[in-house]
Structures are given as structure tokens and as C-alpha cells.
Amino acid sequence: MLWPFNIGSGVKKVRGTKKAAKSAAIIAIFTLISKFLGFIREMIVASKFGSGWETDTYVVSMTATVIIMSIVGDALDTTLIPIFSEIEGKMGRKEKLKYMNNVVNVIFFITIILAVVGYFLSPLTISILAKGFKGEQFDLAVKLNRIGVPIIIFLGLNYVYSGFLQSDEKFFAPAANGIPFNIIYIIFLFLFSYKFGIEGLMATGIIAIFVQWLVLVPSTKRSGYKWSFQFDLKDKYLYKSIILTIPVLIGSSIDQINTIVNKTLASSLRAGSISALNYASRVSDIFVSAFAVAIATAVFPMLSNAFNNGKMKEVKEIMAEGINIIIIITVPSTIGIIIFAQPAVKLFFQRGAFGERATLMTSQALVCYSFGLLGLSLRTMATRVYYSLQDMITPMINGMVSVGLNIILNLILIKYMAHSGLALSASISATVTSILLFFQLRRKIGRIGLTRYFTCFVKVFLASVIMGVASWGIYSGLGKFVSDTTMSQFLRLFLSVGMAIIVYMILCTVLKVSEMKTLINRLKNR
């Protein structure tokens, strides 16, 4: 949802600005729809399976299944797009399509090997990820992991096809393919979960990710891509991709260590801890994915082009607009989550097997995750700025610092806060490392307007706090007049959040938050 780009002058730049805005809007809208469906999916999972040892086992097994391709996928997302663009610019469309074929076949071959190895190493993987799993729970985790290994293959194809389309500036299919993914899960949960249980839930993941890839196929065909067998490991661009990928791969691997550490430590806590962390992170991820990732994805090509053309002023302006929009969105979101976490979790999750204890554990984790929303969002944006500057090393080192800090904080806070301490550790490490990235960026490219960011943050924070107090007052007041039915509580929460948004926008106007005015103007001009 990015409308802030107002850089330079001329028809070409205006068109580029509008296109970037449109791309960001497409990504944000479909991400929100997908995340909403994912939220519905998690609600049904909570209702069907609750927040106990069986759900914990499923979460760990799925993590074990996709963790490697998640690491590789992050690297592919970063390197494929500029490589595709470079090939087309230097050698033409035909060579780009040829390279696409080579990458598809190489990735397909690699993922098959990973799937086979993953199948046989399942016991070792589970023992690493969940040291607290014993007996029946350990056996089930291994079984689920082995069921899900084909997911790796289709996930790899997903990343390649998505990167190809984004390099063509076609964002619709990549942004929308999460929708059928979630719909398939929802269908299974409603119609077949009672019969096939948790094993069926894992198998559904294979079907869902396969369909997710299929959604991308028609768009790639319309772009001129037609599969053929080509397998050239000596391709110079494949070699270049590997070189560029290595630091990103290391950085992504380091980030995934946080996931492994959290799951491992949570497995030794009371039953339901892993599930509570999973549900909470899914909710907080909505804000990061729908806004920060949408903005970062849309501006990445703009940042790269500006840097390659030696226009550092444009780089800073693009970055500044994006960062301030992130601040405007994430700060009030954090306050809102802190206030409404428990009633929201109760409203959307507490039914069936998901009881009061699960609600309390999940809402506690959600509040702790919310403290890191701003830091994680800004880190996402800053990392893309570094990649546009062709600096892959600094984010990698920053990731190492993040993991080290997270582990230290985990070991300390878990003693006092149990699973919530793990969530809070992640938030603190994301915030600290985000700050470090920006200070390092200032040394790298000169003044980046930190004072401007801080001023925006202070105004937005003040507006958000007042908004929070007002919205809680409204929510509490409405509680005296509405019944305890699901629909009544939904309307109570909906009205409170709606009034909170209105109050926040008024306060931003009063406090002269210029970035809010910019955002509103972009909305009007859409």
C-alpha cells in the first residue's frame, strides 16, 4: 500500500511512480486477503485441534519440512530478479527465457534431492528442532515430517516462477497465489479433518503448495515461457546467481536459527507453548507482510535503478517515504494489539478445542510479538536498501548479531516469562538490529534523515497512545450495553477499532504528521 513516491520530475518518473504505487497496492491488497484467509484457517485449526501437544507436533514438523526451502527462497527472491533483469537488458528476452528454463530444472533437481535426504533425516531433524519431544509425540513428528517432504519441491518452483514474473513487473499472480493456498486448507478443515486428522492436515499442505505453483503457470506462459529440458551447470549467470546468493543464503540461514531456537526451547515448556507462539506470530505477521513487505517489494526495483544510475538522492527519498509510511502504520497497530490482544484472540480463536488457557497463552505471546512490529518492518525495508546498493554482507552480519542477541535474551527471559519471553526476545533483537542497520547505512551513504524519522515517530506514538486510551474507553463502555454473543462481541470490537482509526487520523492531522497527509493524498489520487 504504497503511494508516497514523488521523486523528481518528468513523465517517465511520474509513470514509474504510479506503477510502483500500483504494484505495492496490488501486493498489499492480495496479501491482506491471503492473510485474512490464513487467519480464518488458523481459527479453524485452533477449533479442530486446539493448542496442545498434537498441534505443537504439527507446527514443528511443518517447520522441519519447509525451513530449508524458506532459507533458499529468501536468497532466490533477492538474486533472481536482478539477474533476470540484467540478462534481458544485455542479451534480450530469448536469453532470459533460456535462463529461466535452466534455473527451473536446476532447482527442481536440487529440491528432489533435498526431499529425499529430508525424508531419511527426519528423526535427526525433529530431535534438533524439538529436543523436548519424546515417545509418541516424537514418532508423530517424524511421520508428519515425512508426509510433508514433497512440499519442498513445489515450494522451490514457486520461488522461481514468482521471481520471473516479478522481474517482468507482473505482481498479480505472485501476490494472489496465497488465496487458493488457504482456501484448500479451509476446505479440508471443514469437510475432511474429522476423518484424516493431523496427518491429513500435513498432506493438505502438499496439495495447497502445488496449486499455489499452478496459479503462476498461466502468467509465465503469457510472458513467453515454455518449459524445455535444459540443464547447464556451467551457465555464467547461474554461477553469478550462486555468488550473489551465498551471503543472502547465510543471512537467511542465520535468521532461521531464531526459529529453530524458539521451537527447541518452547518444546521443553508446557504443552501448547509452540502453538501459542505460532498463532501469535501468524497474527503479527499480517502487519509485516501486508505493509512492510509490500512496500519493500515494490520499491526494490526503484532503489536498484536509482543506485545503478548514481542517483543517491533518489535512493534516500524513496527510502524516507517508505520508512515513514511504515511508522505511520505499525506504531498504532502495536498499540492496538497491546490493548485488544486478549479480546481479539478470544473472539476469533476460543471455540472447540481452543480453550481459555490457550487464549491467555496466545494473547500474551501476541502482545510480546507486537513490540517488535516496527523494528521488524523497518529491518525489512533497510535490508532491501542494502541489497539495492549491492551490499549483501552487512545484512548478513546484522543477522548474526540478531541471532546472538535473541539466544541470549531467550535463555534469560524464558526463566521469567516462559513462552512469552521467547516472543519478547524476538521483538527486542529485531528492534536493536534494525537500529544498527540504519546507523550503519548512515555511515555508508551519508545523512539519511534520522531526525525526520524520529520526529515522525514521536508524533505518531503520541497520537497512538491517545488513540489507545480512547479506543479502550469506547470498548469498555460498549461492554455495558452488548450481550456476550459472538456477533455482539465482534461488533463491539469492530466499532472500537473503527473509532480508534478515526481518532488516530484526527490526531495525526492536529499534530501535523505530514506523512499522513501525503498518504491520504495518494489514496485520493488512486
**pLDDT, position 46:** 74
- What is the mean pLDDT of the segment spanning 291-318? 72
Q: What DSSP designation does 309 have?
A: T
The three-state secondary structure class of 321 is helix
- 143 Cβ contact list (under 8 Å, min separation 6): 199
Note the Cα 101 to chain centre separation in Å. Answer: 28
**pLDDT, position 22:** 60
How buried is residue 55: exposed, middle or buried, by Cβ count under 10 Å (0-12/13-18/19+)?
A: buried
Note whether residue 203 is domain-resident.
Answer: yes
Residues 280 and 248 in one domain: no
Residues 219 and 340 in one domain: no
**pLDDT, position 301:** 64
CA distance 421 to 368: 8
* Confidence tier at 418 by pLDDT (50, 70, 90): confident
Weakest-pLDDT range from 154-168, 345-359, 428-442, 488-502:
345-359
How far is CA 177 from each of CA 97, 210, 289, rounded to the nearest angstrom?
22, 11, 14
Helices (H), 121-192: 122-129, 135-148, 151-167, 172-176, 178-191
**pLDDT, position 431:** 92
Query: Domain end: 215, 236, 259, which one?
Result: 259
Residues 185 and 248 in one domain: yes
Looking at mean pLDDT, say which of 11-20, 229-238, 389-398, 430-439 comes out highest: 430-439
Nearest CA-CA partner of 205 in 143, 165, 136, 147: 147
> Residues 373, 364: contact at Cβ < 8 Å?
no
pLDDT in tens, 6-52: 333 333 444 444 555 566 666 767 777 887 788 788 778 877 776 66
- 311 Cβ contact list (under 8 Å, min separation 6): none
Report the length, in residues, of the chain. Answer: 526
Q: Look up residue 54 and give its three cell numbers.
A: 498434537
The number of domains in the chain is 2
Residues 254 and 325 in one domain: no
- What is the mean pLDDT of the segment spanning 100-106? 88
Weakest-pLDDT range from 81-85, 141-145, 470-474:
81-85
Residues 102 and 215 in one domain: yes
Note whether residue 4 is domain-resident.
Answer: no
Weakest-pLDDT range from 200-209, 219-228, 351-360:
351-360
Query: Does an H or E element contain 262, and which?
Result: helix 236-266
- What is the mean pLDDT of the segment spanning 60-88? 74
Looking at mean pLDDT, say which of 12-21, 187-196, 496-505 comes out highest: 496-505
Residues 154 and 212 in one domain: yes
The answer to whether residue 355 scores a pLDDT higher than 50 is yes
- 504 Cβ contact list (under 8 Å, min separation 6): 332, 463, 464, 467
How far is CA 19 from each of CA 10, 25, 32, rounded to the nearest angstrom?
14, 10, 20
Residues 364 and 446 in one domain: yes
Nearest CA-CA partner of 57 in 147, 137, 149: 137
> Residues 118, 152: contact at Cβ < 8 Å?
yes
The three-state (H, E, C) secondary structure of 372-433, written as one string:
CHHHHHHHHHHHHHHHHCCCCHHHHHHHHHHHHHHHHHHHHHHHHHCHHHHHHHHHHHHHHH
**pLDDT, position 2:** 38
Note whether residue 7 is domain-resident.
Answer: no
Looking at mean pLDDT, say which of 72-76, 140-144, 278-282 comes out highest: 140-144
**pLDDT, position 20:** 52
**pLDDT, position 432:** 94
**pLDDT, position 11:** 38
Note whether residue 102 is domain-resident.
Answer: yes
Q: Which residue has the cell 494473547?
A: 363
| Mean residue pLDDT across the chain | 80
CA distance 516 to 288: 19
Residues 384 and 482 in one domain: yes
Q: Which residue has the cell 536446476?
A: 106
How far is CA 95 from each of CA 84, 87, 105, 356, rounded to the nearest angstrom?
9, 7, 16, 58
Share of the chain above pLDDT 70, in %: 86
Residues 400 and 294 in one domain: yes
Note whether residue 292 is domain-resident.
Answer: yes
* Confidence tier at 317 by pLDDT (50, 70, 90): confident
pLDDT: which is higher, 337 or 309? 337
**Position 437: which residue type?**
L
Q: Look up residue 244 and give its three cell numbers.
A: 550473489
Residues 282 and 238 in one domain: no
Residue 406's domain comprises 272-526
pTM of this prediction exceeds 0.75:
no
Residues 398 and 526 in one domain: yes
> Residues 508, 500: contact at Cβ < 8 Å?
no
Greatest alpha-carbon pair distance for the chain in Å reads 72
Note whether residue 155 is domain-resident.
Answer: yes
Residues 214 and 285 in one domain: no
